[in-house]
Amino acid sequence: MTAILIGVQGDRRALAWCAAMVLVAALRLLSARAWRRDPAARDRTGFWSVIGCCGTFAAGLALGGGAAWLWPASETWQLFWVFLVGGMCAGAAGLHHAHLPAVLAFILPAGLPLVARYALEGSERGLAAAAMILVFLGALTLSACRSSREFAANLRLRLSLAQQAQALDAANQRLREEMARHRATEESLRQAQKMEAVGQLTGGIAHDFNNLLTVVLGSLALLRKRLPEGDERAARLLENALQGAQRGAALTQRLLAFGRRQVLNPALVELPKLVQGMADLLRGALGAGTHLRCDFPPGLPPVHVDANQLELALLNLVANARDAMPRGGEVAISAEERQVMRGEPGGLPPGPYVVLSVADAGEGMDEAVLAQAMEPFFTTKGVGKGTGLGLPMVHGFAAQSGGRFTLHSARGVGTVAELWLPRAGAVPAGRPEPQAAPLPATRRGTVLLVDDDPLVLASTAAMLEDLGHVAVEAASGPAAIELLRGGVQADLVITDFAMPGMTGLQLAEAVRRIRPGLPVLLATGYAEVQEAVLPGVPRLPKPFEQAALARAVAECLSGAGAAPG
């Protein structure tokens, strides 16, 4: 436009107008760069909005004011100015449609000077042109308003969609996490159900084995008494058979421990004293190449567990630690008191516990082996070197004692076995050590023997008769009641617990009604009896040997069996 004004009309003022337009454009460019470099531009949108509107106002005023100042006399060039300004206004409306104040800041100062210039002519043509320019500016303003509203609506919609997408992604993430937790819970439930099913199976098998081993042990004991002297080969074979039966009895106890069906006799146990008392046994189990270290804090509270089963569990853990270190090393036994808070994972009720730890620096276990370590019959040892019942036994013992058993291991680092045991109350100072009760004098008597297994019945009757007692056999609880009502003068009733039709406890209750004061001895290996046993009904754990049977019968016949079992 400057070139046209100078070349056609010879108006040198166009150079000043061109310089003003370039200056305004330069200032707008500098302000745009300053906005881009402002780190706080998002927080200063109001300030930069004003700067932007000032820039467009200056550009529009320079364009419209320049047109009015350089207004040519020729109608042709006047129309050229009008079309130029109108095109720039239309371009500004399209470029700045998202920001209505910027559109108005340009088109009004650009178009109104032309309106004023035409209106000042006073002619009909000038007034008509002014009116047309006003209509054009109004149309641009309405169009810009509509475009601005649509842009704002679209922007709000896009922001809403983005927020909804973020919310959906967050919901999907929560759903994935919930599904992962659900799968983990299902896997834990399946594992617990599998362990429970196997535990019930092994517990039932162990009960049957108890009966069989009772027969075997009793028969071998009687046979050893009748073995002719001097037959060393027969004596050696008999001893081998007895040792095999005793090992079978120990294995059965492990099965019952895993199935949580062993009979426990919990009492106050001080861990430092218990470990110190079996230190020689533990060192012997470790061998010469492995060192045993014990670390117990002073004032460690006692625990409430079965001491014999705890010793067996500790011996199993120490043996496993030894096997994990074929080149030798150190096994550390320690204990500390810990508190379980409400809601903590692990399944333990809230309260105080004492954690007995057995740590080794052996080969360790990877995740796959660690996941199977406490499954019954799983072992990494060679054939004939492990039954796969050591850790399951410890697990079952801990659970039955009201605690839990955990393993922490990593390949090449070692293993830490933790036995969580319920803490007991403080032990009174100077508490005397319990003394074993002397065996009371044995007197002969008539024993009513009740068992649904004919082999157990015959073997136990033979052991009683060998001890000098008279054995009266009954194959069921109702049969025993009929014998008592029929006049059998029994001095003692020995009954099995698990019998069809009438359990041993039900029989004991019936005996008390029929013959008050008649002692009843419950021969069983079932842990279910632990909670349901009647006061004054002692127990004889199966499998039992003749010596244990003799002591139990002597205590009952002498009145010692009247103490609660």
Residue 45 confidence class, pLDDT cut points 50, 70, 90? confident
CA gap 117, 107 in Å, rounded: 16
CA gap 559, 445 in Å, rounded: 13
pLDDT one-digit tens code per residue, 270-279: 999 888 888 8
Tokens for 184, please give them: 């983990």
With CA atoms as reference, report the closest residue to 406 among 490, 340, 497, 472: 340
pLDDT one-digit tens code per residue, 493-535: 999 887 888 888 889 999 989 898 899 998 876 544 444 456 6
Per-residue pLDDT at 561: 41
Query: Does the predicted TM-score (pTM) go above 0.75?
Result: no
Per-residue pLDDT at 371: 67
Residue 383 confidence class, pLDDT cut points 50, 70, 90? very low
Check: CB of residue 511 under 8 Å from CB of residue 521. no
Q: Which residues contact 542 (CB under 8 A, 6 or more apart)?
A: 210, 211, 213, 214, 523, 524, 525
Pairing of strands 414-422, 351-360: antiparallel
CA gap 97, 375 in Å, rounded: 73
Alpha helices of 278-345 — where are they, by DSSP H?
279-286, 307-323
CATH, domain range 267-422: 3.30.565.10
Per-residue pLDDT at 430: 36
Q: Please state the φ and ψ torsions of residue 350, each to the nearest 5 degrees.
A: -65, 145
> Within a 13 Å sphere around the CA of 443, how many CA atoms are in the beta-carbon half?
8
**108 SS3 class:** helix
> 286: exposed, middle or buried (C-beta count within 10 Å: 0-12, 13-18, 19+)?
buried
CA gap 137, 131 in Å, rounded: 10
With CA atoms as reference, report the closest residue to 72 among 128, 20, 10, 16: 10
pLDDT one-digit tens code per residue, 182-235: 887 777 667 656 656 655 655 566 666 667 777 777 777 777 777 777 777 777
Higher pLDDT, 234 or 480: 480
Pairing of strands 414-422, 404-410: antiparallel
Residue identified by tokens 């013992």 is: 397
With CA atoms as reference, report the closest residue to 309 among 403, 378, 388, 242: 403
Tokens for 167, please give them: 């919310």
CA gap 46, 42 in Å, rounded: 9
Per-residue pLDDT at 256: 57
Residue 24 confidence class, pLDDT cut points 50, 70, 90? very high
Enumerate the domain spans of the chain: 2-121, 198-258, 267-422, 446-562
Q: Do domains 267-422 and 446-562 have the same CATH topology?
A: no
Beta bridge partners of 476: none
CATH, domain range 446-562: 3.40.50.2300
Residue identified by tokens 């002073």 is: 298
Find the farthest-apart pair of alpha carbons in the chain and give their distance in angstroms, rounded: 155
Give percent of the chain above pLDDT 70.
81
Check: CB of residue 209 under 8 Å from CB of residue 255. yes
* Average pLDDT over the chain, rounded to an integer: 80
Check: CB of residue 113 under 8 Å from CB of residue 67. yes
Q: Please state the φ and ψ torsions of residue 213, each to the nearest 5 degrees.
A: -70, -30
pLDDT one-digit tens code per residue, 423-466: 886 433 333 344 444 444 457 889 999 998 888 888 889 889 88
Q: What average pLDDT score do residues 45-49 get?
A: 87
Per-residue pLDDT at 563: 35
